[in-house]
Structures are given as C-alpha cells and as structure tokens.
Amino acid sequence: MTTPLALYIHIPWCIKKCPYCDFNSHVHSPLPAPGPGKPAANAELPEQAYLNALLADLDEDLRVFTQRPSLHSIFIGGGTPSLLSAGFYQQLLVAIQQRLVFSPHMEVTLEANPGTVDEANFAGFRAAGINRLSLGVQSFSNPALQQLGRIHSSDDAVRAFAKARDAGFTNINLDLMHGLPGQQLQDAVADIERALALQPEHISWYQLTIERNTEFYSRPPRLPDEPVLLSIQASGLELLRRHGYQQYEVSAFALDGFASQHNLNYWQFGDYLGIGAGAHGKLDCEGEITRRWKTRVPAAYLNSECRVAGTQVIAPQQLAVEFMMNALRLKQGFEVGLFSQRTGLPYSDIAGRVQQLVEQELMCLQGDRIAASERGWLFLNDVIAEFA
C-alpha cells in the first residue's frame, strides 16, 4: 500500500445541535460554567470508555495491514472534540503511536468550539501532541451566531484565538460561513476582515447549504439571493487574495506553507482510516478500494463488539467520478499520473472526456496537469458528472 494514510477520529458529542448541522453529533448537556468567561464543564463524558472503544476500533481496522503502517496526518472532528479533556487526547495519541509510525512533522488537528475552551485547555491540547487547531467561528456577528444556534459570541471567538496563540499554537484555521440568513455583502466582508485581523494561518470560507435532516431543512430561513451570493464570493476572494491567502481548494485558503495536509490527502483521493461513532474510512487494499463506516449512535458504538456498520467496494466504473469529486476541487488540479496511481485505471479511460471539456473551456490541460478552468469551477458539479 503506497497511498498516503491519514486517520480521522470522530467525537460525537455537542452541547447543542446547530440548526444547519447534518454531521453525526449528539447533544450532551454540560454542567454550568464555573464563572464568566469560563467554559462549561464536560458533565462526565464517558472518556475512558470512548478511549477504549476508539482503540478497539482502530485495532480492527489495522488487521488488513501486514506491517505497522506510516501515518500522514490525524484530524479530530465532531461533534465538539474540545469538550474532552487534554488527558484523553494525550492517552489517545500515545496509544495510536504505539500502533502506527508517525511521519516526521505530522499534522495533528483538533476542532474546537470557541465556547468550550480556555487557555488551560489549549495548553493541555498542545502538550498532548496536537499541533493544529481548527476554530469553529462561523461568523463574528452576534445576531448571525444566534441564528446559527452557536453557543459562543464574537468576543468568545476573538478571546479563544488569543488564548490558543498564548498556548503556543502556530497553525490555526478559522472556519467561516457566508450566505447566512439575511446576510448582505457588507456583513460577509466584515466577517472576513475580522478574521484577517487575527492573522490565522488558514481560513476555511464556505457557503451555508441547507442539508436534509436539519432544522433549517424543515424550517428554511431566508437566504441571500443569487446576485448577493455572487458579489459576496467575488469580494471575499479578492479580499483573501490581497492579504496573501492562496485559494488551493474550493473553500480553503492558506498562507504559504499552511495548506491542510489532512484535507489535501482527501482531495487527492488518498487513504484514510475513520474511527469513532459515525466515522468513515477509505482504503486501497490489494487493488480494491473499499469504504467503511462505523456505528453512528454513541451508546451503540461504546457497547458493540464490532463497530463496523457497513462496507462498500467502489466499483471500477465509479472510480473515475469518485476521484474527480475530490481532485477537481483543488485549484491546481492533479497530475495525470495521480489518476492512475489512486484509481488503478489507465488515463486513456478518461482522456476523451477530458479533451471534450478542455474544448468547452471547462477544464485546462497543461503538460501533465489537469484542472477545472475558472469557468469550470462555476459549473463544477456538471463537470464532475461528465465522468460518471
């Protein structure tokens, strides 16, 4: 297995379910906050039981390997991973390193909610081995945050960022959303300007979409119309570019050298293990690319002998579109050789369709590198569908 290997770890608990969220998250009521500006306590989350379950889950996934594999990156998402203690993550990362070889300079990311952390939390996470934070800010507008059901305020977000810096984090992502209910151009620009003032290394800036099985789907809010969304997109891209943030993926912007290595592995159709309630994984093993997903409900996940809820071998005829769904999100696209390396298919299988899309000015072919054109990015779903 030569494909890079990453590890995704899912923490399923949240203090509150946001109305737009379709991730596998389950409400766990916190204890009252000990004082102003202090995060809520974790109300006895089953940390030890979940740690044991995660390691059993990982051991099960590792059975397909004949030798101890090398790990490219770790991403801890949720839910709200920052609800769990630094001690939990220290034990978890030590145990993972006993099972896998950590690559030099490995990226280890933790998602954090600004309303659940203080400086002591951040310092503990840093000491445990986490070297990249992703702060779920979403907006710096308090009315917008209330509409989104967030538990933090704008001041909480700024304070959390400062405390993360004080704790020694030198690689921080801010999650920002645009196209929020009632949002105008000046509101979206103000959000980006507040984010830029903090000087994070990475900004994930993505449009709110209404997903099934969410409160917003059953009671849709009024979202900005198309002309407003287009003006937000154009102004935001220019503002981020002017401040040195390179757009390397549809919704990802980074200062030089700070692109997310974990997410790049996804977009380049790399392999990843997924452990935790509801986690997904993808592995290329002996020429078959298999997806595997885990039991979603935390109680069932904790008490299961086998935590695998299902597996699927990706049919050869689906591999091209699966690859393109990821790789065409990258601004620089991909090298021709990567397609064959990651799918096992000859480039000749897609060469004709690529040429047609190049002639339609929806794709670019420069040397051995293929990418969606600027026009192609506007119709990316249609471009990807050509490979189905």
CATH number of the domain residue 364 falls in: 1.10.10.10
- Whether residue 333 sits in one domain with residue 242: no
> What is each CA distance from 142 to 36, 122, 248, 319, in whole angstroms?
18, 24, 29, 44
- Whether residue 175 sits in one domain with residue 62: yes
- Whether residue 189 sits in one domain with residue 67: yes
* CATH number, position 169: 3.20.20.70
**Count of structural domains, the chain:** 2
What pLDDT sits at residue 4?
83
Kindly state whether residue 279 falls inside one of the protein's structural domains: no
- Whether residue 186 sits in one domain with residue 260: yes
Tokens encoding 367: 């040397």
Kindly state whether residue 283 falls inside one of the protein's structural domains: no
- Whether residue 204 sits in one domain with residue 332: no
- Whether residue 355 sits in one domain with residue 233: no
Please give the average pLDDT of every successive group of 10 residues along the chain, which has 388 residues.
86 92 82 50 80 97 93 97 96 98 96 92 97 98 95 96 97 98 97 98 97 92 95 97 98 98 97 98 91 96 92 96 97 96 95 97 95 94 96
Kindly state whether residue 329 falls inside one of the protein's structural domains: yes
- Whether residue 60 sits in one domain with residue 144: yes
- Whether residue 333 sits in one domain with residue 247: no
Kindly state whether residue 150 falls inside one of the protein's structural domains: yes
Give the tens place of pLDDT for each residue, 151-169. Answer: 999 999 999 999 999 999 9
How wide is the angle at C-alpha 180 spanned by C-alphas 176 and 183, nearest 5°? 110
What is the spatial distance between Cα 94 and Cα 39, in angstroms, rounded to a whole number?
Answer: 26
**Residue 175 domain boundaries:** 5-265
Kindly state whether residue 349 falls inside one of the protein's structural domains: yes
Q: Would the pTM count as exceeding 0.85?
A: yes
Kindly state whether residue 341 falls inside one of the protein's structural domains: yes
Kindly state whether residue 286 falls inside one of the protein's structural domains: no
